[in-house]
Chains A and B, each alone.
Chain A
Amino acid sequence: MSAAATRPDRSYLLRKLHSLSGIVPVGAFLAEHFWSNSYALVGVAKYNEKSQELQTIPFRVIVEAAVIWLPILYHGGYGVYIWLKGKSNVSDYPWVGNWLYTLQRYTGLVAFAFIGWHVWTERFLTQGKSTYSDVEHALRNPYYLAFYVIGVLASSFHLGVGIWNFLCKWGLAATVQAQRAAGKLGATVGFVFSLVGILIVVSFRLNWHPFGHFVTLK
């Protein structure tokens, strides 16, 4: 490389974009998605109402492409490229950070595959009109159920570690103490997402709506 370069290299920008895209918009969308799906815990009607609201936003396809599909495709695709450039050595150095590094790659791949399948079945096969019963129906299949559970856990883990990575890699958590705090934050996020995700899956599977008793307008 030329020492006289005056601008950051393209690979630097792509890499930074990859890191950023994991939080915004992908991570943010994941949060939104878990939130809107948790309406299943309230009730079928409430869930369908919420879905309908989201399915009928203006410029829908453009927004979906710009905020969800392209960022996920980029984050996943470039992530695989990054994976190929690294070489895990966790068997030689079984340290926590190194485990997270390795698991981040596998969970990323699992989450990417799950999201792809999930989007295909729930967005495209339903022509963008997925309802409570579509999901509920899908989860009756034990293989789909297992895939959902794994997908939710992988995505949550990946986001949790991703938040830690993001804070370190942007220097927002620079000191050892700050990095420790960032790690705790990431762990909390990962745990909360896992928990909420599993609750949502359980809700669909068992038609369980624990917050339904607050609904007064039937």
Chain B
Amino acid sequence: MGETKKVILRVKRQAGPKHAPRWEEFALNWRPAMNVIICLRDIAENPVTRDGKKTTPVTYESNCLEEVCGSCAMLINGKARMACSALVDSLPQPIRLEPLSKFPVVRDLAVDRSFMFESLKRVKAWIPIDGTYDLGEGPRMAPETQEQAYPLSRCISCGNCLEVCPQVNENNAFVGAAIISQVRLFNMHPTGAMHARERLEALMGPGGIADCANAQNCVKACPKEIPLTESIAEMNRQAWKQALLGWLFG
């Protein structure tokens, strides 16, 4: 019997936020339709490196495993993507796994993306309803508007658009494409539009929309294919119009 086919995995390990990173290599048994999550589970079941050293299971975030929860974003062969949909057979080996680099590392491949949720607060990414009591139906909406808005509302806050953005780094607290696109979504909704101004003001603050430099990496990296660059352009137009009005009549 021939040797079973192996999957070689190199994982960047980091015991905690203040520890130095190091690399570990694993050799796993190949099976059809394997993805990166399956590889990480194999390691958890038998945490032994390629050269036979005992180690610990790799810490990583995951939940839905069908690319709607946004948990398992990481760098796979240097590219930001979701681990659950990264099929082993489509990746050159050894497969390199690293944590996203634009967020603080918690441990191994797990990072802290609370910045994104804080940003959502900052731009008031919600429809300010009066209450949950029965106030009748919502506003009517043209199917065309829904078809434009729905793709935007599929953003899973994975952070890949921030990861690939050259303007997001330790020197610059740019909110990133995902949040700008959310502002567009809420400004598009008939009720949300009543409060468009507040959101635009937030976007015109430090780290806001002006920090976008149009590298357009975000739209390429988005696993949900959200038209992020359209959103940014659209929000840019809304923002400067409001800024001009504020300046003229303010």
Report A-B touching, CB under 8 Å.
Answer: yes
Instruction: Given A9-B205, A85-B167, verify A15-B210 contact (CB < 8 Å).
Output: yes
Complex interface: chain B residues within 8 A of A173 (CB):
233
Which of B169, B198, B240 lies in contact with A87, CB distance below 8 A? B169
Q: B166–A87 contact, CB under 8 A?
A: yes
Report the Cα distance A187→B209, complex, angstroms: 25
As a 0/1 sequence over residues 163 to 199 of chain A, the CB contacts with chain B under 8 angstroms (1 = contact) are 0110011111111100100000000000000000000
Query: Would you call B202 an interface residue if the criterion is a C-beta within 8 Å of the partner chain's C-beta atoms?
Result: yes
Q: B246–A168 contact, CB under 8 A?
A: no
Query: Would you call B164 an interface residue if the criterion is a C-beta within 8 Å of the partner chain's C-beta atoms?
Result: yes
Q: B164–A84 contact, CB under 8 A?
A: no
Complex interface: chain A residues within 8 A of B246 (CB):
6-8
Q: B210–A16 contact, CB under 8 A?
A: yes
Complex interface: chain B residues within 8 A of A176 (CB):
227, 229-230
Query: Would you call B234 an interface residue if the criterion is a C-beta within 8 Å of the partner chain's C-beta atoms?
Result: yes
As a 0/1 sequence over residues 113 to 143 of chain A, the CB contacts with chain B under 8 angstroms (1 = contact) are 0000000000000000000000000000000
Q: A11–B164 contact, CB under 8 A?
A: no
Instruction: Given A93-B164, A97-B217, A171-B238, verify A3-B243 contact (CB < 8 Å).
Output: no
Q: Which interface class (under 10, 10 to 19, 20 to 34, 35 or more) fits A?
A: 35 or more
Query: Would you call A98 an interface residue if the criterion is a C-beta within 8 Å of the partner chain's C-beta atoms?
Result: yes
Complex interface: chain B residues within 8 A of A92 (CB):
78-79, 164
Q: B229–A168 contact, CB under 8 A?
A: yes
As a 0/1 sequence over residues 1 to 27 of chain A, the CB contacts with chain B under 8 angstroms (1 = contact) are 101011111011101100000000000
Q: B166–A1 contact, CB under 8 A?
A: no
Closest B residue to A89 using CB positions: B166
Q: A16–B240 contact, CB under 8 A?
A: yes
Q: Which interface class (under 10, 10 to 19, 20 to 34, 35 or more) fits B?
A: 35 or more
Q: B122–A1 contact, CB under 8 A?
A: yes
Q: B216–A98 contact, CB under 8 A?
A: yes
Query: Would you call A106 an interface residue if the criterion is a C-beta within 8 Å of the partner chain's C-beta atoms?
Result: no
Instruction: Given A3-B202, A13-B243, A169-B233, verify A98-B215 contact (CB < 8 Å).
Output: yes
Query: Would you call B206 an interface residue if the criterion is a C-beta within 8 Å of the partner chain's C-beta atoms?
Result: yes
As a 0/1 sequence over residues 228 to 250 of chain B, the CB contacts with chain A under 8 angstroms (1 = contact) are 01101111111110110011001
Instruction: Given A171-B234, A174-B237, verify A86-B250 contact (CB < 8 Å).
Output: no
Give chain A nearest CB distance to B10 CB in angstroms: 16
Query: Would you call A54 an interface residue if the criterion is a C-beta within 8 Å of the partner chain's C-beta atoms?
Result: no
Give chain A nearest CB distance to B30 CB in angstroms: 27
Query: Would you call B171 an interface residue if the criterion is a C-beta within 8 Å of the partner chain's C-beta atoms?
Result: yes
Closest A residue to B122 using CB positions: A3
| Residues of chain A whose beta carbon lies under 8 Å from any beta carbon of chain B | 1, 3, 5-9, 11-13, 15-16, 82, 84-89, 92-93, 95, 97-98, 100-102, 164-165, 168-176, 179
Query: Could you list 12 further interchain pairs (A-B, Cβ under 8 angstroms) beyond the known A86-B172, A102-B166?
Result: A3-B124, A5-B205, A6-B201, A7-B246, A8-B242, A9-B205, A87-B166, A89-B217, A93-B220, A164-B214, A171-B237, A174-B234
The 8 closest A-B pairs by CB, nearest first: A171-B237, A97-B216, A101-B215, A15-B210, A8-B204, A174-B233, A171-B236, A1-B205
